Structure 1
Amino acid sequence: MQKLLITGASGFLGWHICQITKQEWEVYGTYLSHSIEIAGMKTLKANLTDFQELKRIFRDINPDAVIHTAAQSQPNFCQTHPQESQAINVTASCDIAGLCADYSIPCVFTSTDLVFDGLNAPYRETDPVCPINLYGEQKVMAEVGMLERYPQTAVCRMPLMFGMATPTASSFIQPFIQTLETGKELNLFIDEFRTPVSATTASQGILLALEKVNGYIHLGGKERISRYHFGQLLVEIFQLPVTNLQACRQQDVKMAAPRPPDVSLDSSKAFELGYKPLSLRQELLEIIGLALSR
């Protein structure tokens, strides 16, 4: 079996990628602060911002491909910790692309829809980037830097993702559900639009990119939806109390990082390559099915 190195295996997306790759690959997953063991693969603690350590990992594993998901992905944290987030989001990413170039192996990088300003959605791969927060800026720097180091890199711009909680991470739906189940008020934006997908679907798109893509690819879902209307769908399917679901606007909530209003992705290019997101309703019903089967 060929060797696949997945950075950020303890993260929400990284963990889900590990689940669908370990049947076909000999998988090695890195983590930093959240120790994790995943059956059927090897995990190792690694500080990816230490270039000597990174080189040693490549030398010891000698991977046949790399999927780089490790990141500091909370926009508010990045806004208030610029140097710490830059080290993993930009410097380490570019170093990984350089090492993949040295080894002449496929490299996939998970970027974000937040590279756009939200004023001209839906966004295609060829549309100009214009991030309005530091996290988006860092991802743009990583995209450009990685492709300069290694033009064969597949840069996957990811949408908002949801799914089953992992041993060390959760998606945005878990706190939503918990808030409503405990009778607290849940305020969701009616003026922030995304094209969400489940982490399982996103993982399948990333594997498609590993096989077929050099350069940029958008891996959004087929439905543009506001956070509030996603919350309504969640309430209906998970049969949650609806009375505490409240609509609000971005301006009502003070946040360190500015948020773009509409970063819906046009993922036609990925659809043509065989990327097949389900409807949001189907995705959520599958999550319920998985939860009941555990």
Structure 2
Amino acid sequence: MQGEIHGGTRAVGTLILGASGFLGAQLARRQEGLALAAGLPGGAEQVVGVCRRPQASQALFPGLALVACDLSVAGRATELLDRLRPRRVLLAAALARQHDCDADPDLARCLNEELPGEVAASCARRGARLVHISTDLVFSSRAPRGGFNEGAVPDATSVYGRSKARGEVRVLVAYPKALVVRLPLLYGDSLGRGLGASDGLLAALKRGERPLLFEDEWRTPLDVTAAAAALVHLAQLEVAGLLHLAGPQRLSRLELGRTVLAARALAPHKVRAALRREVPGCVERPEDVSLCAARALALLPAPMPSPEEALGAG
């Protein structure tokens, strides 16, 4: 049944939209872990994750309450928030793969632009805390030295980047007290699903592939578990507006890939180096969307780990 909760009936403290995704699953684990560590009694508020197929995702976090909801249907998110009345909402649901957005721009608009505006309006009506997840790919030009800060003007050229940039605007217009956090390329533990920059690479190697990685495409990659911990912390604060959260190093996709290989004691030649201009259709990919995360780091209890630290490649 639409909206049925699998795993609990307590009042909802935190609602995670997109709980089955790469980041969403780690958000759910982190938030639920904090609740358990605090020794919350049975009548206390619970953490609830929202995804399309709860039964398929329950094994990822057996103790988490899950709700079935197709967020691509207009009005469904509002109905769900009206019923559950959460104190906090972490909005990680999105159409995040660029080729999926290119193939279905209407769905990209629905999930990346219209859904955030709908959720923000609902949270604003009841004063619920909202943290909306966005991306470094709202930018396309070369980042200045030190990375893009929050004052930089988005100039995305991709369907994905443009839809996410418009979603940011909708959130902050509907609910100025909301927090929008732009994240970089994420890597790390995908709970055995082959998602993200590192697990996706390892999964390709396992299939016998020799992945191609660009040496002229730069990001500030961040471990997904560190990102989740930081977002959960920021959700407890009253900070609003835009924040950039990123790893401490500006790295090319090739450099990150080789760090992943080193962490698994794999030879560097298992990946192929390339320039964007050498690959048809890739010259339009953003060259450098590095982020400056100084403002966010000032609010966090600890610095973000480097890939060597997070992956154990040091």
User: Do both proteins adopt the same fold according to a TM-score greater than 0.5, normalized to the shorter chain?
Assistant: yes
Residue in 2 that maps onto 1:14: 24
Distance 1:28 1:63 in 2: 9
Amino acid corresponding to residue 227 of structure 1 in structure 2: R
Distance 1:196 1:223 in 2: 7
Instruction: Measure how far apart 1:257 and its partner are.
Output: 9.7
Residue in 1 that maps onto 2:47: 27
1:65-80 to 2 correspondences below 5 Å: 65-80=88-103
Instruction: Measure how far apart 1:119 and its partner are.
Output: 1.5
Of 143, 148, 159, the match for 2:184: 159
Residue in 1 that maps onto 2:304: 277
Of 111, 122, 131, the match for 1:99: 122
Distance 2:16 2:169 in 1: 21
Residue in 2 that maps onto 1:253: 279
Residue in 1 that maps onto 2:6: none
Distance 1:184 1:77 in 2: 22
1:60-209 to 2 correspondences below 5 Å: 60-121=83-144, 122-166=147-191, 170-181=195-206, 183-209=208-234
Of 4, 7, 11, the match for 2:14: 4
Distance 1:33 1:264 in 2: 34
Distance 2:177 2:276 in 1: 38
158-167 vs 217-226, greater mean Cα deviation:
158-167
Of 228, 241, 265, the match for 1:239: 265
TM-score w.r.t. length of structure 1:
0.91
Residues 154-179 of structure 1: per-residue CA shift (max 9 Å, x gap): 00000000111236562122231233
Distance 1:92 1:181 in 2: 36
Distance 1:255 1:95 in 2: 34
> Unmatched 5+ residue regions in structure 1?
289-294
Amino acid corresponding to residue 114 of structure 2 in structure 1: T
217-226 vs 58-67, greater mean Cα deviation:
58-67
User: Percent of counterpart pairs with the same letter?
Assistant: 27
TM-score w.r.t. length of structure 2:
0.85
Which of the pair has the greater relative contact order for Cα pairs under 8 Å at 6+ separation? 1
Amino acid corresponding to residue 21 of structure 2 in structure 1: G
Amino acid corresponding to residue 16 of structure 2 in structure 1: I
Change in CA separation of 1:168 and 1:44 when aligned onto 2, cut-off 3 Å: farther
Amino acid corresponding to residue 3 of structure 1 in structure 2: G
Instruction: Measure how far apart 1:39 and its partner are.
Output: 2.2
Amino acid corresponding to residue 36 of structure 1 in structure 2: S
Amino acid corresponding to residue 128 of structure 1 in structure 2: V
Q: In angstroms, what is the RMSD of aligned CA positions?
A: 2.1
Query: When the two structures are aligned, how many residues end up with a matched partner?
Result: 287
Change in CA separation of 1:242 and 1:167 when aligned onto 2, cut-off 3 Å: closer
